[in-house]
């Protein structure tokens, strides 16, 4: 996969591509990450990329011609172009899984007051990472890219993300490691007995419990098996 990030602040991505899992994925050629400075496409000698809003108002608006040149020069017919904007669809794990199947992903980061409306004609879709406003699209682009890259083959071990929160429709079950006991708090005995069937059942139940207690809204769309229903009934009784 290739991910191209169009931004006014390319230096913000320096640490992002040079640390941890993202760095290793790039080194293993699982993904290519290209960071492009939108200002390089300004025809203004001062590299201006924005102007005052037509009709008046506060702030500055990113210009359509500059952004369009940046998009055209960094895309092809197979490119999936995402505008990072609070007006986009709400980002979640299902969207991450869908985007991870793309071969050429382009992320357009906004800034200032926003985009000239006509820029929307040159993107594939608009995505928001939540119902709040940030100073720009750089942090959302990093969040999106990180969540997509970790799903790619060989970026991390597949089993490391198969049971992630939201991947199964539930929050992830609680995890433990050594020390086995700390300040009178012990690792559940079932995780130490080596019985994989019991461990699997424990984790399923605790994933259901955590979702029931913290994000019950997720259960509305969850596809319950007969075992799941039995476990949830037990959880409801236990939590009363």
What's 2-149's CATH class?
alpha beta
The verdict on whether 164 is a catalytic residue reads yes
Q: What pLDDT does residue 164 have?
A: 65
Catalytic residue among 37, 65, 104, 113: 113
pTM given for the model:
0.89
Q: What pLDDT does residue 161 have?
A: 60
Which pLDDT tens digit goes with each residue over 181-195?
999 999 999 999 999
DSSP collapsed to 3 states, the chain: CEEEEEECCHHHHHHHHCCHHHHHHHHCCCCEEEEEEHHHHCCCCCCCCEECCCCCCCCCEECHHHHHHHHHHCCCCCCEEEEEEEEEEECCHHHHHHHCCCCEEEEEECECCEECHHHHHHCCEEEECCCCCCCECHHHHHHHHHHHHCCCCCCCCCHHHHCCCCCCCCCCCCCCCCCCEECCEECCHHHHCCCHHHHHHHHHHHHHHHHHHHCHHHHHHCCCCHHHHHHHHHHHHHHC
Q: What pLDDT does residue 142 have?
A: 98
Q: What pLDDT does residue 15 have?
A: 97
Q: What pLDDT does residue 157 have?
A: 77
For residue 56, pLDDT beyond 70: yes
CATH code of domain 169-239: 1.10.1270.20
In the chain, domain spans: 2-149, 169-239
Catalytic residue among 65, 86, 146, 163: 86
The verdict on whether 86 is a catalytic residue reads yes
The verdict on whether 120 is a catalytic residue reads no
């Amino acid at each position: 996969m290739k991910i191209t990030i169009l931004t006014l602040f390319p230096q913000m991505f320096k640490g992002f591509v040079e640390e941890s899992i993202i760095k290793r994925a790039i080194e293993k050629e699982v993904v290519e990450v290209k960071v492009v400075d939108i200002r390089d496409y300004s025809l203004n000698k001062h590299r201006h990329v924005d102007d005052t809003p037509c009709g008046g108002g506060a702030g500055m608006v990113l210009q359509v011609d500059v952004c369009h040149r940046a998009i055209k020069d960094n895309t092809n017919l197979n490119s999936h172009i995402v505008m990072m904007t609070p007006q986009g669809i709400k980002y979640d794990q299902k969207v991450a899984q869908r985007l991870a199947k793309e071969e050429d992903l382009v992320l357009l980061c906004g800034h200032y007051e926003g985009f000239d409306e006509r820029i929307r004609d040159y993107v594939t879709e608009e995505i928001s990472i939540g119902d709040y406003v940030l100073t720009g699209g750089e942090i959302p682009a990093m969040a999106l890219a990180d969540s997509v890259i970790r799903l790619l083959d060989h970026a991390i071990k597949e089993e490391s993300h198969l049971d992630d929160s939201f991947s199964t429709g539930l929050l992830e079950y609680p995890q433990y490691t050594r020390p086995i006991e700390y300040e009178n708090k012990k690792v559940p005995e079932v995780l130490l007995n080596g019985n994989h069937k019991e461990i699997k059942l424990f984790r399923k139940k605790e994933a259901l419990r955590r979702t029931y207690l913290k994000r019950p809204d997720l259960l509305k769309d969850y596809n319950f098996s007969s075992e799941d229903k039995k476990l949830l009934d037990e959880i409801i009784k236990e939590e009363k």
